A = this chain, B = another copy of it.
Amino acid sequence: MTLELPGRRVAPTLEAVAAEAGVSRSTVSRVVNGSSHVSPDVVTAVNAAIDRLNYIPNRAARSLANRQTMAIALVVPEDTQRFFGDPFFSEIMQGITSVLEDSDYVLNLQLARPDAPSEKTIRYLLGGNVDGAIVVSHHSGDDFFTTLDATIPVVFGGRPFDPEKHRNNYVDVDNAAGAALGTKHLLSLGRRRIATIAGPANMQAAIDRHDGWLATVREAGQDDSLVEYGDFTMAGGATAMRALLDRAPDLDAVFVASDLMATGAVAVLRARGKRVPEDVAVVGFDDSSAATSGEIALTTVHQPSREMGTEMARMLLALLRGERPDPERVMPTRLVIRDSA
């Protein structure tokens, strides 16, 4: 029995181009890589041969020889569902790809396990598949990522945990200040019982936003116990809102650590007969598309997600060039007032 496999075309090599053009492999390599020390007519001849043969350099061989892969990993320790569910990631990724488009690098998305990276992810990142990595949505609990840059340059989206242990490169906003901004707005509206729906306690941004709310509420001499935690999803925001209402039916405002969670919270408030913002004012965080796609346009703390993406990419590219960019890039937030508070 003969198993006939579809005959795949065999890619031409540098060697073949050299033969076709009647020069050495070194020379072909030089013109492929745009070296300046090649005579014009040789360049022409080689390029002609390349076109004729439809030559494309083999990346494995190239990266083995020069120890560059020209690939960057975007590592997101979240499952597919949450990755696609939160517009924040979409915007970050748009920012990143917009700068990588103009570079020679390709982006490889790696969805990792939220708890700790799998063996496969580790081998991928350490096995010479990429020249650098951007890690977004980092959770505490393992420090593989924070120590990864002993091997390849890494930029974090969001200040990583344990900054004293190791100084990582990151771009972030001042989450505490942003949360304070949102909470103060609630205070200025005369609200006196302001709850918060915080993000998961194993994420630095969630902790910082919680802290910003906490400090503001304390400073105002208000109850600082109205906290519930969500997982940055709509469903998580809804569950937290229910718990909050059960504990404090008289709350009159809630600062929510993400727009997606705020959307879930608003739905619950309405279902329980609360008017937003009359009975309960709601402030979100992100100013992503989720802020304006729900039942009511959310007043929210804006963070420049797309620009954060471009900054991450730029920072990594600088590191890859051997430069030493400022390792900490903190971008501004601002309050966007809409209908929910």
Chain A residues engaging chain B, CB cutoff 8 angstroms:
3, 5-6, 8-9, 11, 56-61, 63-64, 69, 80-81, 84-85, 87, 89-90, 93-94, 97, 101, 106, 108-111, 120, 122-124, 126-129, 149-153, 322, 324
Query: What is the CA–CA distance of A211 and B3 in the complex, to the nearest angstrom?
Result: 39
Interface of A is mostly: mixed
Q: Once the chains bind, are B11 and A58 in contact (CB under 8 Å)?
A: no
Query: What is the CA–CA distance of A280 and B152 in the complex, to the nearest angstrom?
Result: 58
Query: What is the CA–CA distance of A93 and B76 in the complex, to the nearest angstrom?
Result: 15
Q: How many identical chains are in the complex?
A: 2
CB-CB under 8 A for A81 and B94, given A129-B59, A151-B9: yes
Q: Once the chains bind, are B56 and A126 in contact (CB under 8 Å)?
A: yes
Task: State how many angstroms separate the Cβ of A29 from the closest Cβ of chain B.
Answer: 15
Measured between beta carbons, the chain B residues less than 8 angstroms from A152 are 8
Q: Once the chains bind, are A80 and B58 in contact (CB under 8 Å)?
A: no
Q: Which of B58, B94, B120, B128 contacts A127 (CB 8 A)?
A: B58
Q: Once the chains bind, are B90 and A84 in contact (CB under 8 Å)?
A: yes
Query: What is the CA–CA distance of A212 and B61 in the complex, to the nearest angstrom?
Result: 50
Measured between beta carbons, the chain B residues less than 8 angstroms from A93 are 80, 84
Query: What is the CA–CA distance of A9 and B87 in the complex, to the nearest angstrom?
Result: 36
Q: Once the chains bind, are B61 and A127 in contact (CB under 8 Å)?
A: no
Query: What is the CA–CA distance of A109 and B64 in the complex, to the nearest angstrom?
Result: 23
CB-CB under 8 A for A87 and B84, given A97-B111, A322-B3: yes
Q: Which of B80, B87, B149, B153 contacts A94 (CB 8 A)?
A: B80
CB-CB under 8 A for A149 and B6, given A56-B127, A63-B60, A109-B108: yes
Q: Once the chains bind, are B90 and A150 in contact (CB under 8 Å)?
A: no
Which 5 A-B pairs give the minimum distances between C-beta atoms? A84-B90, A60-B64, A60-B63, A109-B109, A80-B94
Task: State how many angstroms separate the Cβ of A138 from the closest Cβ of chain B.
Answer: 19
Q: Once the chains bind, are B90 and A126 in contact (CB under 8 Å)?
A: no
Query: What is the CA–CA distance of A81 and B306 in the complex, to the nearest angstrom?
Result: 12
Measured between beta carbons, the chain B residues less than 8 angstroms from A11 are 126, 128, 151
Task: State how many angstroms separate the Cβ of A116 from the closest Cβ of chain B.
Answer: 15
